Amino acid sequence: MDQNQPTKIAQAKAVLEKNWQGGFTIPCEGLYPFQWNWDSGFIAIGWAHIDMERAKQEIRSLLMGQWKNGFIPHILFHNESDTYFPGPDVHASHLSPHAVSLPTSGITQPPVLGFVLEACYNISEDQELGFVSEVFDSVYNNHHYFYTNRDPKGEGLVYICHNWEAGTDNTPVWDEIWKNLDSPEYELNRRDTQHVDASNRPSNREYQHYIHLIELFKEWKYNDALIAEQCPFLIQDPLFNTMLIKSNESLINLGNLLGKKKQVEQLEKWQMLAKESFNQKLFNEELGTYVYYDLRNERHLNYVSSSSFAPLFAGIPTLEMAKKMVDWYFEKGTFSGNKDELLLCASFDPKSSHFDPKRYWRGPVWINLNWIIYRGLLRYGMEELAETIKKDTLHVLEKFGFYEYFDPRKEVLKTLEKGYGGNNFSWSAALYIDILKNTTI
């Protein structure tokens, strides 16, 4: 144990405390001043170790934004702030007949809530089911929303229709979509580049594409059928579907404890189909790992990113597939580089010409992806590599602080004094606390 760990844990708690808004936690002051969907999930796990009531409030606040059809938005505008673009006026959620009165965005984010709920339950000392029982149906309804509205072919794989839905907002994979998109050259009132170094952030042209998609959704009043028919961005993403599958699994476990027979039966059906299709459709035999599928253009997007390894977390590959994948990409260094070169785990293929170790999702290490892959490796009994990821994760957080993302190059890290993006970033702090414990999910 690093002898400074107790101080670091206190600092991590202080980050969460500072970002707590009396009901929910913002991801990062200035840069992300509202409640974000999957951030809140990871943050709730952190709170569960410190103050279970806050974990519950975090989740309750997120569910306040749930639409009547089960959809959970990616941003909830409980509060006002002029430090972020695009705000509630641009998203205009009231255009959807399903929206609730709380202003939100009209796009979603990776559905982590199911497994977050199980993690909180496992962390709780009394293992009391009251809270699980309070929110179970809402989370179930969210899964119902996905399988009935986002799976046009009935494959058990759901699509995302915006890069912000992926969570991995700026991965080079989306360049394939932007290439063919003739988005208007909107005047942008960007705020992110006022908070952090513009060279770490997406370009203006990319932001115009992001806004263009939102404008289309508004024109279609956020109607899912129209989006499925016409949206130029329609992707079956391995990370997003892994989160849903992992959350299915947790809801099945919790549903059994609650005696929710009918819902468990339905979840099991979704789960079986989802896992089977995932392995059939998203596993690229030649690459030996998972890739993306572009439903709009009926083609695979054969890129390897950290999302390619997320399926370990939900037990999707067979042990044999998992061993081969890990051996090739991590033991042989195809993704992880040689031992002195890279810290685990880059967010995009370091051998690709698109790899950029500084820019948002195009290479840097992200703590939530490390946490997902770490838990995935443990699930498959790959303790040694899991320990390396844990060690690398603790290293950057303890050396630099709770930044949003980090440079993976070991040589460069020696000369740096900080991480990249926002500082005092909530999920980096929350997952630091969790990774030091042995939460089982």
Closer residue to ligand GLC in complex, CB, 31/117: 31
What minimum distance in Å lies between the beta carbon of 126 and ligand GLC? 31
Q: Which one, of 330, 344, 334, lies nearest residue 409 by Cα?
A: 344
By C-beta, is 41 or 255 nearer to ligand GLC? 41
- Which residues sit at the interface with ligand GLC, rule CB under 6 A? 27, 32, 36, 38-39, 167, 169
Helix (H, G, I), strand (E, B) or coil at 385: helix
Q: Determine the residue type at 22.
A: G
Q: Residues with Cβ < 8 Å from 98, sequence gap 6 or more?
A: 67, 68, 69, 71, 222
Q: Is 39 a catalytic residue?
A: no
Tell the smallest beta-carbon distance from residue 271 to ligand GLC (Å).
25
In the complex with ligand GLC, which residue's Cβ is closer, 188 or 273? 188
Shortest Cβ 39–ligand GLC spacing (Å):
5
| Residue whose CB is nearest to ligand GLC in the complex, by number | 27
- Distance of closest approach, residue 280 Cβ to ligand GLC, in angstroms: 28
- Catalytic choice (39, 58, 404, 407): 404
Neighbours of 34 (CB within 10 A): 24
Place of tokens 């980096």: 428
Are 236 and 157 within 8 A, CB to CB?
yes
The smaller minimum CB distance to ligand GLC, of residues 201 and 260, is found at 201
Both tokens of 189, joined, read: 């009132």
Q: How many residues does the chain have?
A: 441
The contacts of residue 152 (CB under 8 Å, 6+ apart) are: 159, 228, 295
Beta-carbon contacts of residue 229 (< 8 Å; ≥ 6 apart): none
Give the span between the Cα atoms of 226 and 357, in whole angstroms.
37
Told to judge if 165 belongs to the known catalytic residues of this protein, a careful annotator would answer: no
Q: Would you say 169 or 176 has its CB closer to ligand GLC? A: 169
Contact assessment for residue 386 and residue 374, using Cβ atoms and an 8 Å cutoff: yes
Distance in Å, CB of 212 to ligand GLC, minimum: 18
Q: Which residue, 27 or 376, has its beta carbon nearer to ligand GLC?
A: 27
Closest separation in Å from C-beta 168 to ligand GLC: 7
Comparison of 42 and 335: residue with beta carbon closer to ligand GLC: 42
In the complex, what is the shortest distance from the CB of residue 74 to ligand GLC, in angstroms, rounded to a whole number?
A: 7
Contacts 24+ apart (CB under 8 A), 188-194: 188/85, 189/85, 190/85, 191/82, 191/83, 191/84, 191/85, 192/31, 192/84, 192/85, 194/83
Task: Give the DSSP H/E element, type plus range, for residue 148.
Answer: helix 130-149
Output the six-digit token pair for 120: 């909180």
Active-site option among 137, 155, 169, 398: 169
Active site residues: 169, 404
